[in-house]
Amino acid sequence: MDSIDLEVLKTCELWIKAGRRCALVTVIKTWGSSPRPEGATLVIAEDGSVVGSVSGGCIEDDLIERVRNEGIVRTHPEIVTYGITADEAHRFGLPCGGTIQLAIEPISGQSKIAELLQRLSQHELITRRLNLRTGEVDLALAADVISLQLTETTLTTLHGPRWRLLIIGAGQLSRFLASIALGMDYHVTVCDPREEYREGWQVEGVHVVHAMPDDMVVEMRLDSRSAVVALTHDPKLDDLALMEALKSEAFYVGAIGSRLNNVKRRARLKEFDLTDADLAKLHGPIGLYIGSKTPAEIAISILAEMTAVKNKVRLPLEISVEHAKNSSA
């Protein structure tokens, strides 16, 4: 399962190879509420076919109508703005006074889409610099995470695995968690030294490694774009990895288990060289309380909590698993 924006790039490459004229549309900036963030993309072909999204649908409808009436006529990138007036905001389904700014780029061989996809397949984080005057493109390894940047002459966008997820344990729940995380643009690694659990792993695009989890945590050099989720229920595998992860810059560290097991786990980790601040980073029991029972539902609840933490959303205590189960006890 690809993320939406990776699917857009792959479609660009397919349409270029097929000789279809197309344009890549990128959200540069929004004012007011918007269903798609800065950097979101779509590709539109000369017959009006579209993959991806830049709004709730009304702007896509306008882009499709223009292409069907006029074709792909741009020879150079262009910055366009929708929704400047209240009438336009109403027409395009934007909030009153809302505005969205887009870059529309005709795609060709010089767009370097194939090279970008090849580098992304190597899990590189890439900056793509588009010359707005000539349409020329430069690709470079991103030295640091940057936001989308626009100058008078250049549009710089970031592509690649902005977020990494290390899953400890290759069980059934791991399969659901990995599959959904892939679609959310995570680079997913599953670590399990137990051969019987690794056999039959079938989630394409996930890196499965045979290693001790704590060694893998150290090797990955976790940064603020990294998350670790321990799913083995085995302290021999989970505890040392959690200890290393809690000392890292990982934005999310969590472990599956009951409320009682979580208390016992924290007591064990307290015996290691961890500060109270380190232990406070540990999420457990993990996930949001949504009444989840199946592995798929549990995976959704875990990723919902991860997403909230990633986006720095302060969640009410009532939706934590521990609080909800304590209240119903």
On the question of pLDDT at 268 being above 80, the answer is yes
What's the pLDDT tens digit per position in 5-17?
889 999 999 999 9
203 pLDDT band, cuts 50/70/90, is: confident
Distance from CA of residue 47 to its chain's centroid? 30
164 pLDDT band, cuts 50/70/90, is: very high
Per-residue pLDDT at 102: 95
- Range of lowest pLDDT (125-134, 139-148, 251-260, 310-319): 139-148
Going from the C-alpha of 57 to that of each of 51, 174, 290, the distances in angstroms are 12, 34, 30
Residues 106 and 75: their CA atoms lie apart, in Å, by 6
Quick one: tokens of 59? 């702007």
DSSP label at residue 288? B
On the question of pLDDT at 33 being above 80, the answer is no
On the question of pLDDT at 162 being above 60, the answer is yes
| Domain ranges within the chain, ordered by starting residue | 4-159, 163-328
Strands 41-45 and 22-31: antiparallel
Per-residue pLDDT at 176: 95
On the question of pLDDT at 252 being above 90, the answer is yes
Per-residue pLDDT at 232: 92
CATH number, domain 163-328, options 3.50.50.60, 3.30.1360.150, 3.40.50.720, 3.40.50.261: 3.40.50.720
Residue with tokens 């695009």: 205
On the question of pLDDT at 165 being above 70, the answer is yes
Going from the C-alpha of 207 to that of each of 8, 110, 170, 188, 267, the distances in angstroms are 23, 31, 11, 6, 32
- Range of lowest pLDDT (38-42, 159-163, 255-259, 269-273): 159-163
On the question of pLDDT at 105 being above 80, the answer is yes
- Range of lowest pLDDT (182-186, 246-250, 258-262): 182-186
Per-residue pLDDT at 305: 95
Over the chain, what is the mean pLDDT? Answer: 88
On the question of pLDDT at 1 being above 60, the answer is no
On the question of pLDDT at 58 being above 90, the answer is no
